[in-house]
Chain A
């Protein structure tokens, strides 16, 4: 217990940590952007189709959900340049691709389940009022799916932000990697990890608050 804390040793490295935080944001943003896009399309497709392709897609999704994120990142880091011959792909890009496979698989499942859970009466009400199939999708099904899945999505978006720290395993200069670099220079691991723990928490906590608020709001809607 005789450890003497010295946060002043971290202060000069704040710009480095902030740069790392910015990369963490970038990984999160690109992963979420592509995952949401793919997730929505695949989720809708899975709901519409009854073909063999649907079973194949389900299997692929389950596979990407089954492999731990860290393994996916390490695996894709070596696999994709080997498969494609694109040896100059950055570690950042490879991490985004690896994370997108896992996250979009979960997103597709959320969307598929969200659509499945909409009572058919809500759709029937739209049709009976003269709305076209497209209008029913655009104005009834999708808003209800978004409304129902938003609390879950918010929680998962936070998860992606937190898991982006795994990118440090392939030397992407995000927050955790930046912290490790700083420790190599000032040998103040306790202080550095304390600071980045607080930095992660400062970003994430408002989102948890937001997610809980959404959940409360959506409870009011249930009939």
Chain B
């Protein structure tokens, strides 16, 4: 059984069709990268998987259970499938520690002391030990993104969606963030990324998307079959 199954997904913002008949499936423990030009619908896919965006047509199933029909509580799905955003989306008025422990206390009913202990452990995992009392505004971009990842790790997600998490970072910070992610175990990862080398190294599966449609999926970076994919990759390499 596939961990995540997306079938015939259609998504519109008013009259603007952003996802057209998108279908794919995700194996447990795999790492998938979604690549494609800007505004092709990549981030929207992640938001749909996290049920942050309603869909007009199609089905999203998690562990064989349909979750996109409104009958399953979105909050319950979000306890299993988490997302890390490009712009970190940390709460600026809360310390790093509070950013980390708020959701587990409220949603997983963790005791405050337990949550604090776990936060210290998770911060160590992302190489940010000792920063518990700092406010996000006093941290660098790379540190903030690692706090955002730590916040997601606190939730013990089964699937972690990562939305262009290195786009706002310099190469050094990107490397730090990606190093942390490489070490993660027991979690299924879905990246939206422009970091093509990283996608090649870490992914078992790559999905190429353009104008809301999946162009192809599989070993797309090493062995592109479609003209549009080749053109996109060529352009990326030229820019680099």
Contacts and interface: CB of A to CB of B under 8 A. Distances in A.
A128 B83 contact: yes
A105 B94 CA distance: 29
A215 to B, nearest CB: 14
Nearest to B87: A121
B195 interface: no
Given A127-B52, A128-B78, A131-B106, A221 B155 contact: no
A80 interface: no
Interface stretch (B133-141, B181-189, B202-210, B228-236): B133-141
Nearest to A136: B106
Contacts of B103: 126, 129-131
Interface in A115-152: 121-122, 124-132, 135, 139-140, 143-144, 147-148
B137 A130 contact: no
A125 B79 contact: no
A130 B78 contact: yes
A223 B90 contact: yes
A121 B89 contact: yes
B52 A124 contact: yes
A66 interface: no
Interface footprint category on B: 20 to 34
Contacts of A220: 135, 137-138
B187 to A, nearest CB: 15
A222 interface: yes
B155 A129 contact: yes
Interface residues of A, number: 22
Contacts of B144: 223
Given A128-B78, A129-B155, A221-B135, A121 B92 contact: no
Contacts of A131: 75, 103, 106-107
B87 A221 contact: no
Contacts of A130: 75-76, 78-79, 103, 107, 155
B97 to A, nearest CB: 14
Contacts of B87: 121
B91 A129 contact: no
Contacts of B151: 129
B166 interface: no
B50 A128 contact: yes
Contact of B91 (A132, A135, A140): A140
Given A129-B155, A130-B75, A130-B103, A121 B138 contact: no
B93 A147 contact: yes
A223 B137 contact: yes
Given A130-B107, A222-B137, A122 B91 contact: yes
Contact of A127 (B76, B78, B79, B137): B78
Interface in B30-78: 50, 52, 74-76, 78
* Residue among A122, A130, A140, A223 with max Cβ neighbours from chain B (10 Å): A130
Given A129-B78, A129-B82, A222-B137, A124 B89 contact: yes
Contacts of A148: 93
Contacts of B169: none
Contacts of A140: 91
A124 B51 CA distance: 11
A126 B103 CA distance: 8
Interface string B85-120: 101011111100000001100110000000000000
* Residue among A128, A135, A220 with max Cβ neighbours from chain B (10 Å): A128
Contact of B85 (A121, A144, A222): A121
Interface of B: 50, 52, 74-76, 78-79, 82-83, 85, 87, 89-94, 102-103, 106-107, 135-138, 144, 151, 155
Given A124-B89, A125-B91, A220-B135, 16 more contacts: A121-B87, A122-B89, A124-B52, A125-B90, A128-B78, A129-B102, A130-B78, A130-B79, A130-B107, A131-B75, A135-B106, A140-B91, A143-B93, A220-B138, A222-B137, A223-B137
Interface of A: 121-122, 124-132, 135, 139-140, 143-144, 147-148, 220-223
The 9 A-B pairs with the shortest beta carbon distances in the complex, nearest first, are A129-B103, A125-B89, A130-B78, A130-B107, A147-B93, A121-B89, A130-B79, A221-B92, A130-B75
